[in-house]
C-alpha cells in the first residue's frame, strides 16, 4: 500500500494549477485538484480572455470612423452591452468545459469545492481528508480595496465583467494595467471615463517613455486622466455615486471601479497553521524551485507574487512537474519575460527599462522613434506610435525593447525571442525589415538619441 493517497494535491484550478496537475499526471503521478470557484481561474473567467474580448468590442467605434477614410460608407450603428456580455459568457462557458475535459482526460481527479491544508501532507475538503506526498497551492490573487468611507459602493474588475447595463459615466481608480485597460474599454464604448491615480505617472514598472506616451495618447482620445489625486470617500446618490477627491473636488458617476492592486489569495487556507511562511502581503515565500519553507508544500502563480502573468504561472507549473515527477530539477526562468497592456493604443515590452539598464550597466545607448502610423495618414487620427531599444554599449547587446502602438503585443512577442537569445544591435541592424510595416522600425533604428 502506498503511504499517501495522492502524489500531488493541487489547490486552485487556474492556468498554473491545471498545467502542473496535467503534466504531473502525464508523468505517472496520482493527482487531485480542488477548485471552489471556476475552472481556468482569473485569466479565463475574469481576466485575460474576457478582457481581450471587451477590448476588441470597444475598438470598433474607432474602426467604423477610420473606415470612411478608406472609402467605406458606414451606416447607422448602435452598441448592445447585454449582447456582448451574453456572447462573452458563452465563450467562457465553452473554455470552462475545455479545462474540465483536459483534466479528466489526463486522469486528474477534480473536486469542485474549497480545500484547506490541515498539515504538510493532509488536505481537507469539507469533512473529507486526503493524504498526499506533495501539496501545490495555486490559488491566484483577488482584487483589493482600500478602507475608505463608502468603498462598498465601488466595483472591481470582477464585477465589471458582469454589469447588467453599461454606465454612461465611470470613474476608474488605479494606475496599473487593469485600470488602464478598462479606461480604454469603457471609453471606446462611449462611456464618459475618468481615471485617477495617486502617483505622478501611472504604470509603475514600465519604461518612462512608454508611460508618458500612453498618457498623452489616452488624453488625445478624450479620457479624463488625472494624476496625483485620490478618492477620500464615496457616497451613493439617486443617480449613481459621488467621489470626493483629495484635491477637494468631487466627481459624479454611475459607477466607480477600483483597480488598485490584487492580493495573494491565501486567507483561510491553513497555510500559517501548517508552518508556511508568508510575506507581508500574504504571498507564499518560495525558493527558486517554487518550494515553500515546508518541504512538501509548493506554490506557483500569483499566490507567490513573483511575476503575475498567466504564461509565467503555466511555465512555473511545468517546471514544478519536471522537478517532482521527472527527476529533473527545474527552476522557472523569470528573466526577460515579455508583457503587454491591452490599452488603446497597446503596450508591448520585454527586457530592461531604460532606468533599470542605467542602474546595471556602465553605459547604455537609447534608440527611439515616434511617428504617425501609415494607416492614419488617411484617417487624420493623431495617434502616435513609440518604439524604443535599449542597448549595452560595451557588448552591443539589446537589453530591452518597448513599444506603444497598434499590435504592440503581437510585435513584441517576436522581438522577445531576439532579446532572450541575447541578440546584438548589429544583428537587429542586419535584419531586413518587412515594408511597409510598423514592426520594421525595430530593425531600422540607426542613430541613438542623446
**Residues recognised as catalytic:** 435
Residue 16, phi then psi, degrees to nearest 5:
-70, -50
Round to whole Å and give the CA distance between 191 and 61.
12
Round to whole Å and give the CA distance between 45 and 29.
28
Residue 322, phi then psi, degrees to nearest 5:
-65, -40
Query: Which residues have CB under 8 Å from 360's CB, separation 6+?
Result: 352
Round to whole Å and give the CA distance between 89 and 70.
34
Round to whole Å and give the CA distance between 173 and 202.
11
With H, G, I as helix, E, B as strand and everything else as coil, classify residue 221: helix
Nearest Cα neighbor of 177 from 384, 352, 292, 342 is: 342
What is the Cα gyration radius of the chain?
A: 24
Q: What is the DSSP letter of 325?
A: H
Nearest Cα neighbor of 374 from 70, 103, 44 is: 70
Half-sphere exposure of 52 (CA within 13 A, CB side): 11
Cα distance between the two ends of the chain: 71
With H, G, I as helix, E, B as strand and everything else as coil, classify residue 371: strand
CA torsion through residues 10, 13, 14, 19, sign:
positive
C-beta of residue 332 within 8 angstroms of C-beta of residue 316: yes
Say if strands 250-253 and 241-245 run parallel, antiparallel, or are unpaired.
Answer: antiparallel
Q: Which residue is it, cell 525593447?
A: 401
Query: Which residues have CB under 8 Å from 36's CB, separation 6+?
Result: 112, 113, 114, 115
Query: Which run of H or E residues covers position 340?
Result: strand 339-341
Say if strands 255-258 and 385-392 run parallel, antiparallel, or are unpaired.
Answer: unpaired
Round to whole Å and give the CA distance between 104 and 25.
10
Q: Grid coordinates in use for 332?
A: 522557472
Q: What is the DSSP letter of 448?
A: -
Round to whole Å and give the CA distance between 183 and 195.
7
Amino acid at each position: 500500500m502506498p503511504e499517501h493517497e495522492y502524489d500531488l494535491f493541487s489547490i486552485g484550478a487556474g492556468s498554473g494549477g491545471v498545467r502542473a496537475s496535467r503534466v504531473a499526471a502525464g508523468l505517472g503521478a496520482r493527482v487531485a485538484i480542488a477548485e471552489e470557484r471556476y475552472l481556468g481561474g482569473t485569466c479565463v473567467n475574469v481576466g485575460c480572455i474576457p478582457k481581450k474580448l471587451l477590448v476588441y468590442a470597444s475598438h470598433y467605434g474607432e474602426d467604423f470612423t477610420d473606415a470612411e477614410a478608406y472609402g467605406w460608407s458606414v451606416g447607422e450603428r448602435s452598441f448592445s452591452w447585454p449582447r456582448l456580455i451574453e456572447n462573452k459568457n458563452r465563450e467562457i462557458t465553452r473554455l470552462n468545459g475545455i479545462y474540465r475535459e483536459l483534466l479528466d482526460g489526463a486522469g486528474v481527479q477534480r473536486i469542485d469545492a474549497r480545500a484547506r491544508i490541515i498539515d504538510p501532507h493532509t488536505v481537507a475538503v469539507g469533512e473529507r481528508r486526503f493524504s498526499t506526498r506533495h501539496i501545490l497551492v495555486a490559488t491566484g490573487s483577488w482584487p483589493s480595496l482600500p478602507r475608505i468611507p463608502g468603498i462598498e459602493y465601488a466595483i472591481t474588475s470582477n464585477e465589471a465583467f458582469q454589469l447588467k447595463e453599461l454606465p454612461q459615466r465611470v470613474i476608474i481608480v488605479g494606475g496599473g494595467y487593469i485600470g488602464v485597460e478598462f479606461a480604454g474599454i469603457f471609453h471606446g464604448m462611449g462611456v464618459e471615463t475618468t481615471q485617477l491615480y495617486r502617483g505622478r505617472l501611472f504604470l509603475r514598472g514600465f519604461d518612462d517613455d512608454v508611460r508618458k506616451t500612453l498618457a498623452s495618447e489616452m488624453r488625445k482620445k478624450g479620457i479624463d486622466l488625472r494624476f496625483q489625486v485620490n478618492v477620500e470617500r464615496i457616497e451613493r446618490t439617486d443617480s449613481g455615486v459621488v467621489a470626493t477627491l483629495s484635491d477637494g473636488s468631487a466627481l459624479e458617476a454611475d459607477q466607480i471601479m477600483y483597480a488598485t492592486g490584487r492580493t495573494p489569495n491565501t486567507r483561510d487556507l491553513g497555510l500559517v497553521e501548517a508552518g508556511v511562511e508568508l510575506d507581508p502581503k500574504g504571498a507564499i515565500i518560495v525558493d527558486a524551485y517554487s518550494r515553500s519553507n515546508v518541504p512538501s508544500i509548493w506554490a506557483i502563480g500569483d499566490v507567490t507574487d513573483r511575476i503575475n502573468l498567466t504564461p509565467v504561472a503555466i511555465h512555473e507549473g511545468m517546471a514544478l512537474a519536471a522537478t517532482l515527477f521527472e527527476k529533473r530539477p527545474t527552476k522557472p526562468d523569470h528573466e526577460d519575460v515579455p508583457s503587454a497592456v491591452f490599452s488603446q493604443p497597446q503596450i508591448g515590452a520585454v527586457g530592461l527599462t531604460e532606468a533599470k539598464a542605467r542602474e546595471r550597466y556602465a553605459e547604455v545607448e537609447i534608440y527611439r522613434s515616434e511617428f504617425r502610423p501609415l494607416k492614419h495618414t488617411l484617417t487624420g487620427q493623431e495617434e502616435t506610435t513609440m518604439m524604443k531599444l535599449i542597448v549595452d554599449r560595451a557588448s552591443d547587446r539589446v537589453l530591452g525593447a518597448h513599444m506603444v502602438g497598434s499590435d504592440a503585443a503581437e510585435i513584441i512577442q517576436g522581438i522577445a525571442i531576439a532579446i532572450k537569445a541575447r541578440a546584438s544591435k548589429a544583428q537587429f541592424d542586419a535584419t531586413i525589415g518587412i515594408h511597409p510595416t510598423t514592426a520594421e522600425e525595430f530593425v531600422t533604428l540607426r542613430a541613438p538619441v542623446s
